[in-house]
Structure 1
Amino acid sequence: MNYIELINQFWQVRRSKRITSLQADVYFTLLNECNLRGWENPFEISNKLICATIGISEPSLIDSRNRLQQIGLIEFQNGKRNSQSPVYYLNNLSRNRTIGLVEPLVTSLDETELSAEPFNKLNKTKKNKTSLPESPVGEAEVPASKIIDLYNEICKNLPPVKILTEKRRKAINARLREHGYENVVKMLQMASKSNFLAGQSQRGFIADFDWLFKPENFAKTLEDKYNDNRYKPASQGTVVNGKDSNVAYLEGAYERLTQQP
């Protein structure tokens, strides 16, 4: 086994299996680590080190490595104790070399796997019920945890999300199917710019993740219907003769009432 051999294997597998850029980053980080250790295989490496190297969250790492194991590029086992790091093994599919940590879905590379036909024609088997959906515009599958990370990164003026529940996962996947990944990101950007959604209004309403990902609220936010031109913050007002417009209006009304006969 050598570096070039496994790199070529990765690109061969990617011709027939959907692999996101995030999953590719995880694989090449593991490949580089194995190379730095003189091809010690299997090897241990902590989640924190991988996350710090790539700049991703631990849930995103878990989603990515599960996919890599599912298609057979790697095998891994979690540490038996909290102090132990996970153990990884890089599979050499062309030589049918695995160590049996798990049973990979891909055990060898043949001409059918490597053909250039579209992915939907190659995959004749029923899709795993837990697999992530594709967007209608042909985006690669996107882990729900990545959307959570984007929300926390973009919408810093809104309540953060700390737990990815099954209900939230279903809502994320539904919006990805309906609108596509790019529109999900655009919606989050729109939400982050709205003072109204951040509670700066007469109502004091504050949107959260669950509210944004409801179908109707998602569509309205994406269409920029909560921009500040329509919903002025409660503290926003013009200045008249050195006074806030709200104060000036109240003083004027009082004077008119007191001057009436």
Structure 2
Amino acid sequence: MSYIDLVNRFWTIDSEFSFSHLEVHLYFKLLEINNRLGWKEKFSVSNGRLCALIGTTQKNLIKARQRLIDKEVIGYKKGTTREAGVYYFPYHMKKETNLESNVKKESNLESNLESNLGSNPGNNLGNINKTRLDKDKDIIYIPAPAIEKVILLWNQFQISKIPDNREKTENSILDALRRHGEENLLRAIRNYAEIVGGREYILSTRWQLSTFMESHVEKFLDEESAKAMYRMKGGPDGRSEKDSRDSWKERFKNPAGTHTDERDLEELLIKSETGS
């Protein structure tokens, strides 16, 4: 059972029971901790440490943990005064009983990691921990923060709705993380959110997250370049320029029975504005 399988199962259960923000945060923090430990079947972490990591009180932690236990997304054995409690992922243990032995084969992991991520020394994954690979099943194990930070930031800006089936979205994020790294992706999303939501910019297209990851990240890596590309010539007010943009699009509509994507129109408009 891969990280993505665990996440997909979590969101499937969430669609029925609607976990709170704290419950979501706790679940993905436990995934992150277990990833750092090398994907153990069981691992220990104290209440005090978890409270500090997710910014909550012990009372709220216990309440959130119990709901995750009740919905069978985590398992927990209470600790003692000297030993921290023990956590595990029931579904993970049932499906992947041989995972721990696989991830400890460091020499195989290194070669598998290189073949999956490429041997380019400049390939930076930012703050992503080493990806784990189940050699027998070719399953890539992705640390929780990398993908979830991207999704949470996208949702925070309310750019576009992420489909319920998140497999395509997560795979596109993974590929973009390999190419650009976590920090660059988060910066690109912030820049895009500012531009697509700003009245002084001509861009109004709100792409799906997967489309943004696959085709548009590069445009928004540098804030000044992105703003210069999409800034209206009419200044911050931009009303006359906005009107001219709409009329320009109207003139370039395709004949009946054909179709041009909104993205194509935006790109043509930018070329006409910049003279390129």
TM range (shorter): 0.3 to 0.5
Q: TM-score, normalised by structure 2?
A: 0.42
Answer 1 or 2: which has greater helix percent: 2
